[in-house]
Amino acid sequence: MSNKNFYHHFISLIFFLMLITAGCDQKPYKLVDGYIYVQKDGRQHDKDAWELVWSDEFNSPVLDTGKWTKINRFTDADFGLTKKEWVDSIEKWKDIKNISCFSYTSGDDDLYKFENGKLILYGIVNPDTIADPRPYLQGAVKSKRKFAFQYGKVEIHAKLEAAKGSWPAFWMLSEKEIYDTLPHRNGEIDIMERLNYEDSVYQTTHSHWTIEMKQRQNPPYYAKGKFNPDTFNTFGLEWYPDKLVYTINGKTTYEYPKLEGVDSAQWPFDQPFYVMLDQQLGGGWVGEIDPDDLPVKVIIDWIRLYQ
């Protein structure tokens, strides 16, 4: 082979490898810290270009611990309380009917089941208040430090059972807390919350702006959307750099925009968030629990992220 031909083939090979490398970099996201999906610039408003980048179809007979952690109030490091501290607290709360809902969260296996490719989270009457004095227990999972994202479309296909005092929720909190660790400074996105037997769900945007500063009307910080309680529904969020778009079964139910010229606390939604899925019980908003309505459960078919 002549030097000229060798050079030609060498250049062609380099060009071919460059094309392959470029093709491999066409993902709509960049992966940060190995688990945070940050959507690339330039795609935020191109709805026709959504690509599925992460999902859990819940086809495994056990929880995928590479994606989720069971939330247990007695042991979860994020809450910073020992089991004894929680037991002492429960003793103080025994005469209070509307104990804060998340106080019942447990990692007990009975609260997490997998059937027909679905994750089932239960809310139950505690069968053993000697070992654990809490009167009720509830299942909840979080993706913190395992899966988080910034911008994109997340959808959760699920069926929500009803009970007096039942409060299933799919919601999101900031992964990094870049705006301070004080409550609400980093925002909260509630994709779906159902109370009791209602045939609507609440979809809410929380922040220091809406809670402490009480800026709740312009723009409205929540809306209610109808759904069919007898079947599975898809609860979703489209998250852009300038607005949050909440959906039910693919239809927009509520939008929360980023405002210009206001306090920066209005928009902490420019950082990665993680997801929590739970079957909560009790609390001042949902009201008193009726033990005769339990057990109750939320049945989750899948969760999918598009960017």
Q: Residue 5: what pLDDT?
A: 53
CATH of the domain at 227: 2.60.120.200
Does residue 79 form part of some domain?
A: yes
Does residue 11 form part of some domain?
A: no
On whether the CB atoms of residues 230 and 197 are closer than 8 A, the answer is: no
Q: Residue 6: what pLDDT?
A: 46
Does residue 301 form part of some domain?
A: yes
Mean pLDDT by 10 residues, the chain (307 residues): 50 46 72 97 75 97 97 80 68 58 88 97 95 91 98 98 97 94 91 98 97 94 98 98 97 97 96 98 92 98 98
* Full residue range of the structural domain in which residue 215 is found: 30-306
How does 124-154 read in b/e, with b if 16+ C-beta sit within 10 Å?
bebeeeeebbbbbbbbbbbbbebbbbbbbbb
Does residue 213 form part of some domain?
A: yes
Q: Residue 65: what pLDDT?
A: 97
Distance from C-alpha of 88 to C-alpha of 111, rounded to nearest angstrom: 23
Place of tokens 């409060």: 167
Of 282, 275, 114, nearest in space to 188 by CA: 275
Indicate whether this model's pTM tops 0.75.
yes
Strands 148-150 and 112-115: unpaired
Q: How many domains does the chain have?
A: 1
Q: Residue 98: what pLDDT?
A: 53
Establish how many alpha carbons lie within 13 A of residue 274's alpha carbon, considering only the half-sphere containing its beta carbon.
16
Q: Residue 49: what pLDDT?
A: 85
Does residue 18 form part of some domain?
A: no
DSSP state of 250: T
Does residue 124 form part of some domain?
A: yes
CA 64 to the chain's CA centroid: 16
Does residue 126 form part of some domain?
A: yes
Work out the burial of residue 24: count CB atoms within 10 Å of its CB; fewer than 13 is exposed, 13-18 middle, 19 or more buried. exposed
Does residue 146 form part of some domain?
A: yes
Strands 188-193 and 200-206: antiparallel
Distance from C-alpha of 195 to C-alpha of 102, rounded to nearest angstrom: 15
